[in-house]
Amino acid sequence: MPAHVMTVQGPVDPGDLGFTLMHEHLVTRFWHASHRYDLACMPEDRRYVLEELSRLARTGCRTLVDVTPVGINRDPEALREMAERTGIQVVMGCGWYRDSYFPARAEIDRRSVDSLAEEMLAEIKEGVAGSGVRPGIVGEIGTEKDWMSPAEERVHRAAGRAAAAGGLALMTHSFASDIGLWQLRVLREEGVDPAKVVIGHADTYRLKPYHMALLEEGANIEFDTLLWYRPELFDNALDLIRDYVHEGFLGQLLISMDTCKAEHLSFFGGAGMTAVHDRVIPGLLGRGLSEADISAIFVDNPRRILTVETKVPE
Ligand SMILES: [Zn+2]
């Protein structure tokens, strides 16, 4: 297969990716984690999500990456149906999320790292059993705290092996600490090219030396909680992005919304999926970024990261 990006509807030419949101969720359920008492899912009534996706398409967005892992309700067939109905190209993830969300049936603590990797690689090659839908990225895989638990380390190692063997990029979930450096170290040990690693939620730990360390190692950092995690610091996030562009890291920056709960949708009072178009891009242009800079963040960088160059066995 020539260079391509794998969507839930099959491979597409990387040139057709267009404007891309790299870290979203269209179907989720978090309720089964014992500590969750918030409105912890996307609405079961799909009409809300479909309407938001249609609005998103009207802003010019062409592609959305759904990094919902197994264990918080990844649903390949639902993703394919939503892509068909809205015309938005959807790229699906694979792997397991983090400690509280590892499904017991995955037996992550009992199987070998290679066996976990093989399960992901089988999906990458043949599609998720029963649906034929193939993941186009590994992740999001994550850490619960500011350390990596033994089970999380096994998942990171397996995910790294699967991503390296399948030629896919890898998205992490890092939160409110410098754990991204630990994630990157483990992934590098497993042969992953840092240029194919996205440290998700990097904006939840806004220490410049931390971001610089990730960027200087060649990884990509993603600002994706701008409007729901400490939204009072929205302006500060845009200032940081402007600074990193000025410092020469434009090619390693990503921005998304991480829509993952009903309350993030406009129908439920949230910023909605179009907030990148409504608020983020005007804010960046107002800080002196050019249209070409915007295009790098939302078109060129996602295309480079998501393009599968190696031949995936048929
Ligand atoms: Zn996450």
Question: What is the reported pLDDT for 124?
Answer: 97
Question: What is the reported pLDDT for 311?
Answer: 60
Give the helix/strand (H/E) hosting 164: helix 150-166
Question: What is the reported pLDDT for 44?
Answer: 87
In the reported structure, the alpha carbon of residue 1 is separated from the centroid of ligand 1 by a whole-number distance in angstroms of 31
* Residue ranges at the known binding site: 23, 25, 140, 173, 201, 258
Three-state SS string across 92-143, please? ECECECCHHHCCHHHCCCCCCHHHHHHHHHHHHHHCCCCCCCCCCCEEEEEC
Pairing of strands 5-7, 10-12: antiparallel
User: Which two structure tokens, joined as six digits, stand for 74?
Assistant: 């990844």
* Residue ranges at the known binding site for a divalent metal cation: 23, 25, 140, 173, 201, 258
Residue boundaries of the structural domains of the chain: 5-306
In the reported structure, the alpha carbon of residue 174 is separated from the centroid of ligand 1 by a whole-number distance in angstroms of 7
Positions of E strands within the chain: 5-7, 10-12, 19-24, 61-66, 89-92, 138-142, 170-173, 197-200, 220-223, 253-255
- pLDDT one digit per residue (tens) for the chain, 314 residues: 899 999 999 999 999 999 999 999 999 988 877 777 776 788 889 999 999 999 999 999 999 999 999 988 999 999 999 999 999 999 999 999 999 999 999 999 999 999 999 999 999 999 999 999 999 999 999 999 999 999 999 999 999 999 999 999 999 999 999 999 999 999 999 999 999 999 999 999 999 999 999 999 999 999 999 988 889 999 999 999 999 999 999 999 999 999 999 999 999 999 999 999 999 999 999 999 999 999 999 999 999 999 999 665 55
What would be the CATH architecture of the domain defined by 5-306? Alpha-Beta Barrel (3.20)
Question: What is the reported pLDDT for 313?
Answer: 54
Phi, psi (rounded to 5 degrees) for 50: -60, -40
What is the C-alpha separation between 170 and 138, in angstroms, rounded?
5
Residue 64 gets which letter from DSSP? E
Tokens 């040990």, residue? 189
In the reported structure, the alpha carbon of residue 143 is separated from the centroid of ligand 1 by a whole-number distance in angstroms of 9
User: Which two structure tokens, joined as six digits, stand for 143?
Assistant: 């850490």
What is the C-alpha separation between 164 and 169, in angstroms, rounded?
8
In the reported structure, the alpha carbon of residue 135 is separated from the centroid of ligand 1 by a whole-number distance in angstroms of 17
In the reported structure, the alpha carbon of residue 111 is separated from the centroid of ligand 1 by a whole-number distance in angstroms of 24
In the reported structure, the alpha carbon of residue 29 is separated from the centroid of ligand 1 by a whole-number distance in angstroms of 13
In the reported structure, the alpha carbon of residue 189 is separated from the centroid of ligand 1 by a whole-number distance in angstroms of 22
